[in-house]
Structure 1
């Protein structure tokens, strides 16, 4: 079973909208080496896992796959915030739905000059399950051979390539909203590289001679440097409410990154960050829920969270 704690896994910094950065970030979401790929690949590998003696490896893959769900949420929300708002019209919830087009106004004309018109035409200024050139995400990206060593090798390659691409994304924009998410994903990709590399080492695989982790010098990025100093590159979370994960049998000892840190799988989840919902977008004719429906949603969410807290306790 999966539960959702209504917090972001990392804080998204505030900055101005940047549709070009949003489009670039689509590669990190729906591209061949993006977060949707890692999420689906690891979850399918854990679902299809066979062999009770290999439970620590299943738990490791499943824990990382669960974290990737939060990464999809984080990068998708970041894309939406980078798209949120027209330079010629700032909507107000009290405005009539047809107000944006009154008097011949064209508040969505920005869509005609941006790389992905679908962000406005189809997605209502939100993220889409596509890459940076609009190709839809495909299930054929998922690699699940059933052979543990092959799967772990492929996962290590996937995380390494994903981190490399995110370092390039970082250098494409100075937008604080984009960089806050990109830098976090760079460091967490490194943590997952470390975990898969350590898992391969426990299986006797000398991965260093055949699949070296790429050198990116990402520690030169200020936001990344701060997260590395916190040791985030060496932590693996279980996301296991029942305390049955055995991933800690694998994720221990010195980090394969050779940075002098020790791997740590003792924490259930990261601290998280407050989750907020973006304002309505009248110019997209997306006014959201009315007052009565919002009240019902909030009441239902409060009851569900109270029930989870009473049953399992607050996640730490």
Structure 2
């Protein structure tokens, strides 16, 4: 099972809105080589895994797949921030919702000629499960052959192609919000390349002669270099609360990237940064809460807070109230 920590895996730097950059980032989210693809592919491979002696490989797939869930959250949140306030509706809350914003601009006018109109028309200035051309994400992207070597080779190719595409997206925009997330994902893609490359090496596969990792020289991007200097490309997390993951038996030794670093698979998870809910978008009627609905939400919250809190982790103890309990 999976538990959620309400923190983003990496900080998103603040900058001006950029709907065109948001649409480019959609490729990194819902494209054929995007984060939704890696998340689903690795989790399905781990779910369908067979062979008890291969547990370290299953744990490696599961740990990376779990991290990819956080990458979907990160890149989706980044897209929403790039769209939020494009332009911001600067009227008063008491103004009619169709009143033009500051300077006479129609609040959603940019939707007609920038980025993906569905970001505004369908998603209320939020991310969509599509690629940069608007094609819906497809489950047919997922590769799960059941053969460990083939799956690992395919995963290495997937991470390499994903990193290549993110380097191209980086070159498309100077927006700090976009680049902070793109740079982080470029480095983490390299970490996952290292993981699958090392796994193949333990299976006797000379992957370097079969599938050389593309030389993107991404370290020339200043945001990427900062993360590489911290060794983030050589870390892999278990995301395991029970300390039963054996992925560290594979993710160790000198990095296959030949950058002089050693692989480190000892950490459970990164600390992350606080996750914040975005402001309302009045011109999108989002979320559209009026006074009565807000009062109902508060009453429901008060009722829920009156209930005893369950344990942080583990089974919920039986009720000790006057009601019937089961054993």
Task: Give the TM-score of the pair, scaled to structure 2.
Answer: 0.89
Change (3 A) 1:150 1:15: same
**Cα offset, 1:168, TM superposition:** 0.7
Structure-2 change in CA distance of 1:88 and 1:243 (3 Å): closer
Change (3 A) 1:271 1:294: farther
Distance 1:112 1:301, change over 3 A: farther
Mapped partners of 2:255, 2:73: distance in 1: 28
Relative to structure 1, is the Cα distance of residues 238 and 292 closer, same or farther in structure 2, using a 3 angstrom cutoff?
farther
CA shift at 1:286, angstroms?
A: 1.2
SS in 1 for 2:42: helix
**Counterpart residue number, 1:283:** 283
Relative to structure 2, which stretch is displaced further, 55-64 or 104-113?
Answer: 104-113
Contact 1:201 1:207 in 2 (8 A): yes
Q: State the superposition RMSD in angstroms.
A: 2.2
In structure 2, how many angstroms separate the alpha carbons of the residues matched to 1:91 and 1:184? 36
Q: Which whole-Å CA distance do the structure 2 matches of 1:212 and 1:163 have between them?
A: 14
1:28 is matched with: 28
| Aligned residue number for residue 152 of structure 1 | 152
1:128 pairs with 2:128? yes
C-alpha contact (below 8 Å) 2:82/2:177 kept by paired residues = yes
| Correspondence for 2:187 | 187
- Displacement of 1:109: 1.3
Q: Which residue of 1 aligns with 2:318?
A: none
Confirm or deny: 8 A CA contact 2:281 2:287 kept in the other structure: yes
Give the aligned partner of residue 254 of structure 2. 254
Q: Is the 8 A contact 1:91 1:283 kept in 2?
A: no
Q: Choose 290-299 or 267-276, whichever is displaced more.
A: 290-299
Distance 1:281 1:3, change over 3 A: same
1:59 — aligned with what?
59
* TM value normalised by structure 1: 0.92
What is the alpha-carbon distance in structure 2 between the residues aligned to residue 246 and residue 239 of structure 1?
12
2:267 corresponds in structure 1 to: 267
Q: Distance in 2 between matches of 1:70 and 1:301?
A: 27
Aligned to 2:82, the other structure's residue is in SS state helix
Give the deviation of 1:116 after TM superposition.
1.0
Quote the offset at 1:303 in angstroms: 9.5
CA distance in 2, matches of 1:95, 1:238: 49
Distance 1:186 1:105, change over 3 A: closer
Q: Deviations over 1:261-285 (max 9, x none)?
A: 0001100001101111110101011
Q: Which digits, 9 at most, give the CA deviation of each residue in 1:208-231, with x for residues without a partner?
A: 001000101111111111101111
- Report which of the two structures shows the higher radius of gyration computed on alpha carbons: 2
Q: 1:206-263: per-residue Cα shift (whole Å, max 9, x none)?
A: 0000100010111111111110111100001000001100000100000000000000
| Aligned residue in 2 for 1:171 | 171
Structure 2 CA distance for aligned equivalents of residues 144 and 194 of structure 1: 20
Report matched runs for 1:1-316 at 5 Å.
1-87=1-87, 89-90=89-90, 94-95=93-94, 99-102=96-99, 106-289=106-289, 290-292=293-295, 295=298, 307=310, 309=312
Unaligned runs of 5+ in 2: 316-327
Q: Secondary structure at the match of 2:99?
A: helix
Q: CA deviation at 1:295?
A: 4.1
Q: Following TM superposition, by how much is the alpha carbon of 1:100 offset from its aligned partner in structure 2, in angstroms?
A: 2.7
Q: Deviations over 1:22-59 (max 9, x none)?
A: 00000000000000000000000000000011000000
The answer (yes or no) to whether the contact 2:22–2:115 under 8 Å persists in 1 is no
Shift in CA distance, 154/286, structure 1 to aligned 2, threshold 3 Å: same
In 2, the alpha carbon distance for the partners of 1:178 and 1:17 equals 10
Say which is worse superposed, 83-92 or 173-182, in terms of deviation: 83-92
Displacement of 1:300 in angstroms is 9.0
Aligned-partner Cα distance in 1 for 2:305–2:68:
25
